[in-house]
Structure 1
Amino acid sequence: MLESSQFRHPLDQRLTSLVRSAPFYGLAEETLRRGFPLIEQGVRLDLMSSSVKVSPQQLPDLHHLLVEACGVLNFPSTFVPELYVQSNPQANAYTLAIQSRQTAKNKGKDKNSYSSSVIVVTSALVDRCTPRELQAVLGHELGHLKCEHALYLTLGNLASSPLSRLPVVGGWVDSLLQDWRLAAEYSCDRAALLVAQDSDVVASSLMKLFAGTSRYELNTKAFVEQSLEYEKQLEAANPLVRMSIQQQQRTHPLPVKRVAELEKWFRSDDYQRIVSPAGNNAK
């Protein structure tokens, strides 16, 4: 039985705990949950009117990749999130979870229920990636569901806006949520690796996302080496330069940083314990 705690990045674990204990959390969570039915209606109508919904009949190969990834990450056998392909020249993917496992549990439902979950991938992403790379991206998005990131990221966006006006608390909340968003991506890259079982595949998908092209053959090994070289140069950089880089506001960690973190985990005993035959949920 694969649990998110087995692959969640330590920084993600610590910051998720801090977010849940933050002073805004209870009130904002209740406000968000009350608004979920309207959010769900709007999202579904928008996607159904402007995107292609993937199913066994529509883009069946893509649907199979999603089902297989769900199995690797040990979601309930009855669970497959809705998947849409949206026309967009920018390669991207995102997730929306209307209801988390804990919400379902509190309502007396199966504790493993992930109702009303939606994944969207853009046409540019589908065109740019190989099937294995695309499945790694789906694994990353499923990681957000497994770790319940989608719910808390939405909560964070809602909760931080009124508090941002407070000079002390607002700054602390914004900083906490920024750090947590970045940490959450590391956990989901690990989920992608568990699905792909090949760090080069995950690195290649990240490279295509951020290079913005697949017209020319990209060298995954060179990109991994670039990420490791970045780590060395950052460590040796002037403290002022290092601080200015680390304090830049970003919604995702730097691509080279993500690859470097992924390579470390790929070589770790923790990863091997998950994918070993004794406890393997993977393909």
Structure 2
Amino acid sequence: MQKLVFFIVAVLLLVSFCHDANGFSGSTPTIPRVAFQNLQENEFRHPLDRDLTKLILATPGNKLADQVFRRAFPLLEQGARLDLLSSSVKVSAEQLPHLHESMVEACRVLDISSPPELFVQSNPQANAYTTASSKGEKAVIVITSALLDRCSDREMQAIIGHELGHMKCNHSFYLTVGGLASAPLRLLPFAGDSLADSLLEKWRLAAEYTCDRAAVLVAQDSEIVASAMLKLFAGTGKYGMNVEAFVAQSEEYDRLLRNSNPMVRASIENQQRTHPLPVRRIAELKRWSESEEYTKLLKNGVMIS
């Protein structure tokens, strides 16, 4: 009888472990972490993101672009929300409450007083994105079912933290305004279009680096963020992929890139488009998680659990 009881308990523990390792288990683990009171965006913004934001806001066409955006976006936002409400699951205290609690906690860590709306969208493609018309207005975060199934609780919260970083830094707004405000650059002969495109592309990449930092602030463990990225990039959460090995891969990539032919390096950098290459993101977040800047933020945080 004792052997039977022991066997049943062992099986239950194994099932519980496997469920948490391969997908969102429905409860966010409580771990000692700090919240960042009065956290300002520039305290974790990537330097390039910060500099390009200032540059775009200083352009002559910025005010006009701002006005155009504020008039047009509410209509787009209405359509997007109606589509989500009709075809996705809205997360709340009553619907997927543990996922909602996880998002609320991430908001608390990043000092976001008004949590966004969170939707789960049925989609075989693992992805997450956010929209927000302007700071202070209701934002929306969408995560796909494939991503939710693939990630553990803490990985999912880190991904939400990444999207909250876009929201806190107002990237949806500023990048769109930046695109409109950079229009005068396209009037320049010969290189106008390429100059404007290059500027916006670099900004989008820097914005991703910024939000990876936000994910690290939420998780307070760079390996959790790296693990979430690895599952996203590899297309699977199976087979026990090794985060440390992927970090080592990113370091190998950095070494080879530094020593590569300039033409090869330019070609590789041109491949990055809207999101940095996976290994570049891993290497960048690892560097920042070991920086004095990050350590100082942690020291000034207030314990929440």
Equivalent residue for 1:240? 263
The answer as to 2:222 corresponding to 1:187 is no
Task: Return 5+ residue gaps in structure 1 as ranges.
Answer: 101-113
Separation in structure 2 between the aligned mates of residue 218 and residue 153 of structure 1, nearest angstrom = 34
Spell out, residue by residue over 1:203-259, the C-alpha distance to the aligned partner (whole angstroms, 9 max, x if none).
011111111111221111111111111101100112221121123351101110011
- Note the 1:134-173 alignment, pairs <5 A: 134-157=156-179, 167=189, 168-173=191-196
User: Which letter maps to 2:157?
Assistant: Q
User: Which letter maps to 2:44?
Assistant: F
Following TM superposition, by how much is the alpha carbon of 1:158 offset from its aligned partner in structure 2, in angstroms?
Answer: 5.2
Secondary structure class of the residue paired with 1:53: strand
User: Which letter maps to 1:120?
Assistant: V
Separation in structure 2 between the aligned mates of residue 40 and residue 90 of structure 1, nearest angstrom = 23
Equivalent residue for 1:4? 41
**TM-score, length basis structure 1:** 0.89
Superposition CA RMSD, Å: 1.8
Give yes or no for contact 2:56–2:182 (8 Å, CA) kept in 1. Answer: no
Q: Percent of aligned pairs with the same residue?
A: 58
Equivalent residue for 1:129? 151
Spell out, residue by residue over 1:82-135, the C-alpha distance to the aligned partner (whole angstroms, 9 max, x if none).
0000011111000100222xxxxxxxxxxxxx2221000000010000010000
Worse-matched range after superposition: 56-65 or 248-257: 248-257
Structure showing greater radius of gyration is 2
User: Which letter maps to 2:66?
Assistant: E
- Note the 1:257-276 alignment, pairs <5 A: 257-276=280-299
What is the count of residue pairs matched by the alignment? Answer: 267
Give yes or no for contact 1:97–1:150 (8 Å, CA) kept in 2. Answer: yes
Worse-matched range after superposition: 184-193 or 15-24: 15-24
Give yes or no for contact 1:73–1:194 (8 Å, CA) kept in 2. Answer: yes
Following TM superposition, by how much is the alpha carbon of 1:26 offset from its aligned partner in structure 2, in angstroms?
Answer: 2.2
Equivalent residue for 1:87? 122
Task: Return 5+ residue gaps in structure 2 as ranges.
Answer: 1-37
Structure 1 37/281 Cα, relative in aligned 2: closer, same or farther at 3 Å?
A: farther
Spell out, residue by residue over 1:54-97, the C-alpha distance to the aligned partner (whole angstroms, 9 max, x if none).
00000001101100000000112xx1100000011111000100
Structure 1 268/163 Cα, relative in aligned 2: closer, same or farther at 3 Å?
A: closer
Following TM superposition, by how much is the alpha carbon of 1:174 offset from its aligned partner in structure 2, in angstroms?
Answer: 1.2
Following TM superposition, by how much is the alpha carbon of 1:163 offset from its aligned partner in structure 2, in angstroms?
Answer: 6.7
